[in-house]
């Protein structure tokens, strides 16, 4: 299977803080990757490094193709003023002409890409709505449509279900599986959603500055990999492709 992204011995400092330590990682085309790890463990930094937004201090990042046509990135923080008079269509349009501003003339082919992305995520009927009027789940679909408008091969998502309710979360994961097939995507999804993500993805990358494991979920079950990465004990249980649960165990007695 072809490799779409490869990181070799990547180190990244954010100011005086070490964010990524000697990360070597290969992502194959067509895979659905769950990127997991504790807060401050480097998940966002890793995604931004893959997307070309952060340059490694040491090491190499190899992308199979031009970044602008290979990668679609949905960051965790979407900095759009809810009172700014921008429509759903306007936001998705940004995905086909990044950096050209609102007054760029949209070509016919670009318009077709925008409308296709809107239909693919099920929000064509919201195209003329202001972004500030939408629910959290609807906004997330808008930002995914923006990322898909350029027809990328790799979709990077940073904590995409933060702030959405359980129903919207479940619909979101169903949508991602549909989009993988429709766009022939590779997906890397950074998430704290330990109760669902491992039952959805093909592989898990567990990171806390360094990569602790890169393996299918069933190979992690019953190991202490998550304990090492998160600094606390987990019981990792899978039930086929159905949601599982993760139990945080607390010490029953103090050692004094």
Judge whether 136 and 167 are in contact, CB under 8 Å.
no
Confidence of residue 78 (pLDDT cuts 50, 70, 90): low
Same domain, yes or no, for 50 and 174?
A: yes
Per the model's pLDDT, the better-predicted residue between 137 and 216 turns out to be: 216
Single pTM value for the model:
0.86
User: What range defines the domain where residue 107 resides?
Assistant: 79-151
Same domain, 10 and 111: no
Residue at 73 is within a domain: no
Q: Is the pLDDT of residue 125 over 90?
A: yes
Task: Report the candidate in 159, 161, 221, 155 with the shortest Cα–Cα distance to residue 191.
Answer: 159
Q: What is the average pLDDT across 224-244? A: 55
DSSP reduced 3-state for 249: strand
Is residue 128 within 8 Å of residue 86, measured between CB atoms?
Answer: no
Where is the domain boundary, 135, 151, 167?
151
Checking 224-230 for CB contacts under 8 A at 24+ apart, the result is 226/36, 229/36, 229/37, 229/38, 229/41, 230/37, 230/38
Same domain, 117 and 137: yes
* Together in a domain, 173 and 203: yes
Residue after which a domain boundary falls, among 151, 180, 204 = 151
Higher pLDDT, 152 or 228: 152
Q: What is the arithmetic mean of pLDDT over 201-213? A: 92
> Could you give the CA distance from residue 181 to residue 199 in angstroms, rounded to a whole number?
18
The Cα-based distances of 224 to 37, 206, 227 in angstroms read 14, 12, 5
Structural domains of the chain, count: 2
Contacts of residue 202, Cβ cutoff 8 Å, sequence gap at least 6:
31, 32, 33, 216
Residue 170 in domain = yes
Structural domain contains residue 237: no
> Does residue 160 share a domain with residue 96?
no
Looking at residue 77, its pLDDT comes to 67
**Would 104 be classed as within a structural domain?**
yes
User: Does residue 172 sit within a domain?
Assistant: yes
The CA-atom distances, in angstroms, between 85 and each of 44, 91, 131, 136 are 29, 11, 8, 18
Instruction: Name the domain boundary from 96, 122, 151.
Output: 151
The pLDDT tens digits for 133-176 are 888 888 889 999 999 999 999 999 999 888 778 888 888 999 99
pLDDT at 250: 37
In a domain, 38, yes or no: yes
Clarify whether residues 141 and 163 are in a common domain. Answer: no
């Amino acid at each position: 299977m072809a490799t779409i992204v490869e990181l070799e011995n990547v180190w990244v400092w954010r100011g005086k803080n070490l964010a990524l330590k000697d990360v070597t990682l290969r992502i194959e085309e067509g895979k659905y990757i769950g990127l997991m790890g504790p807060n401050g463990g480097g998940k966002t930094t890793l995604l931004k490094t893959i997307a070309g937004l952060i340059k490694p201090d040491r090491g190499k990042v190899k992308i199979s193709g031009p970044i602008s046509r290979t990668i679609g990135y949905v960051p965790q923080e979407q900095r759009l003023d809810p009172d700014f008079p921008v429509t759903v269509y306007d936001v998705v349009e940004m995905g086909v002409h990044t950096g050209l501003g609102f007054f760029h003339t949209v070509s016919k082919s670009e318009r077709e890409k925008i409308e296709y992305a809107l239909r693919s995520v099920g929000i064509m009927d919201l195209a003329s709505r202001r972004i500030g009027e939408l629910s959290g789940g609807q906004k997330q679909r808008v930002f995914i449509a923006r990322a898909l408008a350029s027809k990328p091969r790799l979709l990077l998502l940073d904590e995409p279900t933060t702030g959405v309710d359980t129903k919207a979360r479940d619909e979101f994961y169903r949508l991602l599986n549909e989009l993988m097939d429709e766009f022939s995507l590779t997906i890397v999804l950074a998430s704290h959603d330990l109760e669902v993500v491992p039952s959805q993805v093909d592989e898990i990358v567990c990171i806390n500055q360094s990569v602790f494991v890169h393996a299918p979920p069933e190979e992690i079950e019953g190991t202490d990999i998550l304990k090492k990465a998160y600094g606390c004990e987990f019981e990792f249980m899978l039930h086929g492709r159905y949601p599982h649960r993760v139990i945080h165990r607390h010490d029953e007695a103090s050692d004094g």
